[in-house]
């Protein structure tokens, strides 16, 4: 099953957010563009990126979906 290039993690606490990102990255067929991850405004994106390790380079975190359009 194809995974969407944008996933909604808004409202999730950090641990399930990290899991959701990892699960989405495993299921992707198109790995040429980053996975867009919509997070809450209070998300500590820096900390999340550290926990993602090398996977962080495949992910674009933003609290507003409009920011993705500006990047992709």
Partner 1 sequence: MLEESSETSSPYASDPETPGFAFDPDDPWTQTFQEGLARADLKDKTVYEVGVGTGINVAFILQSCGARRVYGSDLDPRLVVLAERNIKILSPEHAKHFKPVHGSVSLVDTDEAREKIAKTDVVIACIPQVGEPSDERLTAFREAQSIELAEGAGDEAEDHIAHYYPWSLFDQYPYNSVGLGLNEALMRRIREHAPKAELVMNFGCRIGTEIICECFEANGYKPEKIASKIVLQHSGTDISFFVSLEKALNGTEYEKQLVCKFYGDPEGKRPLSATKAQEMINDDPNVPLYHEVAVIRGTPI
**3 phi-psi bin (left φ>0, alpha ψ -120 to 50, beta other):** beta
Whose Cβ is closer to partner 1: residue 31's or residue 70's?
31
User: How many residues contact partner 1, by CB under 8 A?
Assistant: 25
**Interaction between residue 64 and partner 1 (CB under 8 A):** no
Among 5, 12, 49, 68, binds partner 1 (CB under 8 A): 12
Q: What number of other Cβ atoms are within 10 A of residue 32's Cβ?
A: 6
**Interaction between residue 45 and partner 1 (CB under 8 A):** no
Residues at the contact surface with partner 1, assessed by CB under 8 A: 1, 3-4, 7-20, 22-24, 26-27, 47, 50-51
């Amino acid at each position: 099953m194809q995974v969407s290039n944008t996933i909604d993690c808004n409202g999730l606490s950090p641990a399930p957010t990290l899991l959701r990102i990892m699960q989405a990255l495993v299921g992707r067929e198109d790995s040429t563009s980053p996975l867009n991850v919509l997070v809450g405004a209070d998300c500590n994106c820096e900390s999340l990126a550290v926990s993602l390790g090398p996977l962080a380079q495949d992910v674009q975190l933003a609290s507003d979906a409009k920011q993705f359009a500006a990047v992709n």
